[in-house]
Amino acid sequence: MLSPILLVIALAIALTSPGSIFFSQWRVGKRGKLFRVLKFRTMTMNADQQHHRVMADQSIHCLHKREDDPRITVIGKWLRRYSLDELPQLINVLRGEMSLVGPRPWALYDAVRLSADMQLRLNALPGMTGAWQVSGRSTQLDLETVSQQDLDYLHNWSFRGDIQILLRTLPKVLSGFGAF
């Protein structure tokens, strides 16, 4: 069902920006196991080499995410706004590396900054969406706050809660709430 959308996105990336259509990055999965998360590429090629320079002025307690990130492409801004860049993560779900709902998988540079208490969230299977995405998303970038939200989600986990998160995700994504 998603193949026409995926094809249009792939073509838009290929026609507007040189390089690969996909982006993969090491993320921390369940019990700290590393896996390569898949996304549509939203940044210029070799953006990883510029990461620490672009994020240098951020607080140590802040997620490495900026609304004015100069590495994001024109198509990338649009894909991120509506979370379309994350559709390839369905492959990660099929591989068993992620679930539909759960704590977001941290990039290595964020995971290493977690306090010992917050590292407990790394014991769970990460998800494509979760409590942070439906409540704060990019409007909430404090590493400890986001991690605490994930721990609260895990502590109070229920199937019904996951269904509610999935139902709340769609309107947030369609509205572009808090995305960049």
Q: For residue 5, what are its two tokens?
A: 């959308």
Tens-digit pLDDT profile for residues 120-167: 888 999 999 998 888 866 666 677 888 888 999 999 999 999 999 999
How far is CA 162 from each of CA 5, 26, 54, 85, 169, rounded to the nearest angstrom? 25, 25, 35, 22, 10
Q: For residue 169, what are its two tokens?
A: 């995700």
Binned at pLDDT 50, 70 and 90, residue 177 comes out as low
In 3D space, the residue among 119, 142, 126 whose CA is nearest the CA of residue 64 turns out to be 142
Tens-digit pLDDT profile for residues 91-110: 999 999 999 999 989 888 78
CB 49 within 8 A of CB 131: no
Whether the CA torsion 144, 145, 149, 150 is positive or negative: it is: negative
